[in-house]
Amino acid sequence: MKMPHSFSDSSSKKEHVKITSKSKPGFLERLSETSGGMLIGLVTFALSFYLLFTNEGRALKTARSLEEGLSLVVSLDNIQILSEQNEGKLVHLSGPLRTSKPLFDPSYGLSIHAVKLKRHVEMYQWVEYEDSKEYEENGEVKKETRYSYNTEWKSEVVNSRNFDREIGHKNPSAMAVESFTAVAPEVKVGRLVLSKGLVEKIDSFKQMSLSRLEDPHADIIRSGDYFYHSENPRRPEVGDLRVSFFYTGLSGDRSHLGPADAVTVIARQRGDQLVPYQTKTGDILQILHLEELSAEEVFQKEHQSNSMKTWGLRAAGWLAMFVGINLMTRILYTLVDWFPVVRDLVNIGLKAFAFCVATSLSLLTVSVGWLFYRPLWALLIGLLAAVPIVIARSRVPPKKQQ
């Protein structure tokens, strides 16, 4: 059980140390904790199968949808002309972005022709850092926690009530100015209007230079690319604010920031709208890239993205399975942890066992996922899954003949 806390403060007011102690857990207590870990491991183990299996179906479904899209897509030669012949078809077009009105922030006297304008507000606040270490002393487990405090610019309010020591490190409970993102109500490429989903894909933000702007109010100071709500931006106090602006998707040719950004879009044409296209496999094609690309280049990039996502989820599924097996077999380690040499050998053996089983079962699950789509590849992966087991069995010495 926990013992009373003892404190020792360093000479600095921004740092202190707390030491807590508790009795060393007994065998039954450790066994109980291990049993809880086994349940978590079982759930993780089961979820890994679901993740691996569904990922293969998703990857193959996406690949077939992209192949279907490439075979059907129609490239528009002139984006300034609406052709009724392309009604309902999957179209490909490239061109500069256009918006009807500029986005503006009247509070700071700022406007820009762009698809999105983001106001980013930060507050100067106290931040708590925690560094802990555990050690055994006089038959007890002690935990030494060192708390340190620093002032930093943060975009979210840091709740100082959760600090170990709030006195001297108190933050305001809210910001006087809020962050927000303005989005153009209508975005076009040529004469076609982008759907909301396509506009959401325009998210490559750049910080806006404020050098051409004046201080909007007497109590706001511009310094560099920030507006400061502070008496002295070089020596801010807790509670001071600084505001910066970011934009994406320049539109029109009336900006000092340069020409309008060009994009490439693949979507379904419906009247003067670009909307999602549903493939025969059930996937949705609604693609936007912030550069000019041919239809073939777009689909090649999408195939690469699908491949990267697939391998990332495969790795996540294998890791979940490895962790799950480790947690489920941890009880064997707990049973022998009184014997240091045996404990270390068992730990190494359990890790090797978890690695081999996770690898084999992951490959088998992947092969089952492919079974309904590409049977030959499924068979090859299934054979590969048996390799770790064959290697392990080959290292077991044969039984002596009686």
Residues 245, 117: contact at Cβ < 8 Å? yes
Is 258 in a helix, a strand, or coil? Answer: coil
Domains of the chain: which residue ranges? 23-62+306-394, 83-271
For residue 74, the Cα-to-chain-centroid distance in whole angstroms is: 34
pLDDT at 220: 87
Nearest to 270 by CA among 282, 286, 281: 286
List of residues 6+ apart from 356 with CB closer than 8 A: 388, 389, 392
**Residue owning tokens 């990332």:** 312
Over pLDDT 70: what percentage of the chain?
78
Cα gap 376→370, rounded to integer Å: 9
Cα gap 242→67, rounded to integer Å: 49
pLDDT at 1: 35
Cα gap 329→37, rounded to integer Å: 9
pLDDT in tens, 236-295: 999 999 999 999 999 976 667 788 999 999 999 999 999 999 999 888 999 999 999 999
According to DSSP, the residues that pair with 266 across neighbouring strands are 92, 287
**What is the pLDDT confidence band of residue 319, given thresholds at 50, 70 and 90?**
very high
**What is the pLDDT confidence band of residue 17, given thresholds at 50, 70 and 90?**
confident
CB atoms within 10 A of CB 229: 21
At position 176, the amino acid (one-letter code) is: A
Q: Which of the two residues, 325 and 304, has the higher pLDDT score?
A: 304
This model's pTM is above 0.85: no
Residues 1, 22: contact at Cβ < 8 Å? yes
pLDDT at 77: 86
pLDDT at 174: 94
Query: In whole numbers, what is the pLDDT of the chain averaged over residues?
Result: 83
pLDDT at 355: 87
pLDDT in tens, 147-165: 999 999 999 999 999 998 8
* pLDDT exceeds 50 at position 380: yes
pLDDT in tens, 204-228: 999 998 887 776 676 788 888 999 9
Mean pLDDT value across residues 6-14: 41
